[in-house]
């Protein structure tokens, strides 16, 4: 049965270049989409750019460019960052596209026809950094935005309003009926408390600048940039549209099994309160889940313009490769928690977990024992001759695959990797205790074959379980054990469940180590190249 899965990242403001925080959301969404594809589910992965609003208009002016020229120029680094990180999105939406503009106007009309839009005077505070209105309660002393710590602006103008106040009850009902609507739970509680206090109507148009989607039938106004931006999730699929007119929208929105929006914690309210309210008003289906991840600091410091420490992903990909960076991002910090990106921890995990753990397991068996003693071929091994140690490893593999799948379904990437690494460690311990080199020396051929087969088959399982996070390394690994690259196919579930898929007799192809260990000198030179202080003194 087809279970269409739609996963999205936030669309990024193009006022800055991509950094590791953006990469974090995008890699997470790519891992989700690769996992869903492996399970055979039709999957659509969307990312893109938020190109309107006052913030962008001002940045363009600073650069002395027309806004459209400015956003066109800034789009390229985002596209190439995701390509470098192997984030294989199906769609890349830009809010300045004509299709998007039509969708925004269509949603506006649907909300208006419902009687939820009216014209009034507006006076309040506005943070251009957040592109959001602020109540006095939300401000720091001196009228500063609590997120950006910059002064908010007083705005007084005629504006269209959305009757958000009418949606307090419907939203609370929706939350009640969908207890997983927001993840993690603690964040959901914050959202519920906010809504329970009662919602104020929301200003959804501006007249004091032009860089946005014109309001239908009143071109003096442009649509509020968040209403414009949130609509990207449906406009990218050709919606909102009557059934049959936009096949992608039918499949991945209206009748999708799951719609997951991955967002940072700072933009949860827009996604968990405003967006479902707009959709309820427009009579459009509401997404299944909003997943709010935490924020990353870099070597213990907040990334900020004033510190000039925005960490771009490019140089890290160059130094470590995309798969290693993806692995580190998904492994280091529990998804949903705040955490730190530390170059030194990345190096430690590389050497400890990838080189010494998985890489070592590969080398010991494929490049060494199998090559030297079994003619480089996958041996045959009967299930009847299993010993306890073999059975234990097989059971561990089955339990790990089952648990990792559950964690990936729940976007608990770090847990999925923990579980998978328990299998890597168990396999290394198995090699230590069964001592295949001794079996070879003793001429215990049958036992040697059984042991090697058990490890090779474990490696095959690992090549699937780790594929969503490290697609290239997993295909390299597969090549070395004589398996073809993984080719996810709709309707075919490739997740490992039955032991013994590796065919005896096929030739293994030991090649360069998957994760060559960095020695101290290499470590130092990489850190220097990345402009991180020498070991011992964390870059501050």
Nearer to ligand MSP by C-beta: 50 or 86? 50
Binding residue for ligand MSP, selected from 31, 71, 296, 481, defined by CB under 6 A:
296
Binders in 198-237 for ligand MSP, by CB under 6 A: 229-230, 232
For residue 259, state whether it binds ligand MSP (rule: CB under 6 A): no
Q: Is position 414 annotated as part of the catalytic site?
A: no
Q: In angstroms, what is the minimal distance from the CB of 93 to ligand MSP?
A: 10
Q: In angstroms, what is the minimal distance from the CB of 309 to ligand MSP?
A: 10
Q: In angstroms, what is the minimal distance from the CB of 24 to ligand MSP?
A: 5
For residue 335, state whether it binds ligand MSP (rule: CB under 6 A): no
For residue 10, state whether it binds ligand MSP (rule: CB under 6 A): yes
Q: How far apart are CA 505 and CA 453, in angstroms?
A: 11
For residue 291, state whether it binds ligand MSP (rule: CB under 6 A): no
Do the Cβ atoms of 221 and 105 come closer than 8 Å?
no
For residue 92, state whether it binds ligand MSP (rule: CB under 6 A): no
Angstrom distances, CA of residue 489 to CA of 62, 63, 479: 48, 46, 19
Q: Is position 130 annotated as part of the catalytic site?
A: yes
Q: In angstroms, what is the minimal distance from the CB of 533 to ligand MSP?
A: 21
- Alpha helix stretches (DSSP H) within 120-216: 168-177, 185-196
- Strands in 312-401 per DSSP E: 339-341
Q: Collapse the DSSP code of 425 into the 3-class scheme (helix H, G, I; strand E, B; otherwise coil) and give the result.
A: helix
For residue 82, state whether it binds ligand MSP (rule: CB under 6 A): no
For residue 295, state whether it binds ligand MSP (rule: CB under 6 A): yes
Q: How far apart are CA 510 and CA 477, in angstroms?
A: 9
Q: How far apart are CA 77 and CA 137, in angstroms?
A: 38
Binding track, positions 24-53, relative to ligand MSP; x by CB under 6 A: xx------------------------x---
Q: How far apart are CA 524 and CA 527, in angstroms?
A: 5
Q: In angstroms, what is the minimal distance from the CB of 149 to ligand MSP?
A: 15
Task: State which residue has the least CB distance to ligand MSP.
Answer: 264
Find the Cα–Cα–Cα–Cα dihedral 119, 123, 128, 133, rounded to 10°. -80
What are the tokens at 237?
Answer: 């699929």
Q: In angstroms, what is the minimal distance from the CB of 10 to ligand MSP?
A: 4
For residue 12, state whether it binds ligand MSP (rule: CB under 6 A): yes
Find the Cα–Cα–Cα–Cα dihedral 27, 29, 34, 40, rounded to 10°. 180
Q: Is 53 left (phi over 0), alpha (psi -120 to 50) or beta?
A: left
Q: In angstroms, what is the minimal distance from the CB of 267 to ligand MSP?
A: 5
Nearer to ligand MSP by C-beta: 194 or 295? 295
Phi, psi of 236 (to 5 degrees): -65, -20
For residue 209, cis peptide bond before it (omega within 30 degrees of 0): no
Other residues' Cβ atoms within 10 Å of the Cβ of residue 332:
17
Nearer to ligand MSP by C-beta: 11 or 152? 11
Q: In angstroms, what is the minimal distance from the CB of 294 to ligand MSP?
A: 7
Nearer to ligand MSP by C-beta: 232 or 450? 232
Q: Which of 89, 100, 145, 261 is catalytic?
A: 145
Binding residue for ligand MSP, selected from 145, 223, 267, 378, defined by CB under 6 A:
267
Cα–Cα–Cα angle for 280, 92, 495, rounded to 5 degrees = 85
Q: How far apart are CA 40 and CA 16, in angstroms?
A: 37
Q: Is position 127 annotated as part of the catalytic site?
A: yes
Q: Which of 169, 302, 402, 445 is catalytic?
A: 302
Q: How far apart are CA 442 and CA 445, in angstroms?
A: 8
Nearer to ligand MSP by C-beta: 10 or 496? 10
Could you tell me which stretch among 19-27, 386-394, 417-425, 467-475 binds ligand MSP (CB under 6 A)? 19-27
Nearer to ligand MSP by C-beta: 100 or 349? 100
Other residues' Cβ atoms within 10 Å of the Cβ of residue 244:
7
Instruction: State the SS3 of 187-212.
Output: HHHHHHHHHHCCCCCEECEECCCCCC
Q: Which of 148, 178, 265, 371 is catalytic?
A: 148
| DSSP β-ladder status, 214-215 and 182-183 | unpaired
Binders in 302-321 for ligand MSP, by CB under 6 A: 303
Q: Is position 474 annotated as part of the catalytic site?
A: no
Other residues' Cβ atoms within 10 Å of the Cβ of residue 100:
24
Which positions are catalytic? 19, 22, 127, 130, 145, 148, 302, 305
Residues contributing to the site for ligand MSP (CB under 6 A): 10-13, 21-22, 24-25, 50, 229-230, 232, 263-264, 266-267, 295-296, 303
């Amino acid at each position: 049965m087809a279970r269409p899965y739609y996963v999205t990242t936030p669309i990024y403001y193009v006022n800055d270049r991509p950094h590791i925080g953006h990469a974090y959301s995008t890699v997470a969404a790519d891992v989700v989409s690769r996992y869903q594809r492996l399970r055979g589910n039709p999957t659509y992965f969307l990312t893109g750019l938020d190109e309107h609003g006052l913030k962008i208009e001002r940045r363009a002016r600073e650069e002395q460019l027309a806004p459209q020229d400015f956003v066109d120029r800034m789009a390229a680094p985002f596209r190439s960052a995701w390509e470098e990180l192997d984030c294989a999105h199906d769609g890349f939406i830009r809010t300045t596209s004509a299709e998007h503009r039509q969708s925004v106007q269509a949603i506006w009309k649907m909300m208006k026809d419902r009687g939820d839009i009216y014209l009034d005077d507006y006076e309040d505070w506005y943070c251009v950094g957040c592109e959001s209105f602020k109540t006095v309660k939300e401000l720091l002393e001196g009228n500063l935005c609590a997120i950006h710590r910059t002064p908010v602006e007083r705005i007084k103008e005629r504006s269209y309003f959305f009757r958000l106040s009418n949606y307090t009850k419907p939203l609370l009902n929706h939350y009640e009926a969908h207890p997983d609507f927001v993840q993690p739970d603690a964040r959901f509680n914050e959202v519920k408390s906010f809504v329970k206090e009662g919602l104020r109507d929301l200003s959804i148009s501006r007249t004091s600048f032009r860089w946005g989607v014109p309001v239908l039938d009143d071109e003096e106004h442009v649509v509020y940039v968040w209403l414009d931006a949130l609509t990207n999730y449906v406009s990218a699929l050709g919606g909102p549209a009557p059934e049959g007119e936009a096949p992608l929208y039918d499949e991945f929105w209206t009748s999708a099994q799951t719609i997951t929006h991955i967002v940072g914690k700072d933009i949860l309210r827009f996604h968990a309160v405003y967006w479902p309210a707009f959709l309820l008003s427009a009579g459009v289906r509401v997404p299944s889940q909003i997943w709010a991840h935490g924020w990353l600091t870099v070597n213990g410091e907040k990334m900020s313009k004033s510190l000039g420490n925005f960490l771009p992903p490019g140089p890290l990909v160059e130094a470590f490769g995309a798969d290693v960076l993806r692995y580190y991002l998904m492994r280091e910090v529990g998804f949903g928690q705040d955490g730190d990106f530390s170059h030194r921890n990345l190096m430690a995990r590389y050497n400890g977990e990838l080189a010494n753990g998985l890489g070592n397991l590969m080398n010991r068996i494929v490049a060494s024992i199998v090559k030297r003693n079994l003619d480089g071929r996958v041996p045959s091994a009967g299930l009847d001759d299993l010993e306890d140690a073999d059975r234990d490893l097989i059971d561990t593999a089955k339990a790990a695959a089952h648990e990792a799948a559950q964690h990936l379904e729940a976007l608990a990437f770090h847990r999925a990797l923990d579980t998978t690494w328990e299998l890597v460690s168990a396999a290394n311990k198995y090699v230590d205790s069964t001592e295949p080199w001794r079996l070879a020396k003793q001429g215990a051929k049958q036992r040697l074959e059984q042991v090697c087969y058990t490890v090779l088959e474990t490696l095959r399982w690992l090549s699937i379980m780790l594929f969503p996070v490290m697609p290239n390394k997993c295909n390299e690994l597969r090549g070395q054990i004589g398996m073809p690259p993984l080719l996810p196919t709709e309707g075919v579930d490739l997740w490992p469940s039955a032991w013994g898929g590796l065919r005896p007799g096929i030739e293994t192809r030991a090649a360069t180590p998957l994760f060559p260990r960095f020695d101290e000198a290499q470590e130092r030179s990489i850190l220097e190249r990345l402009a991180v202080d020498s070991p011992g003194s964390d870059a501050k």
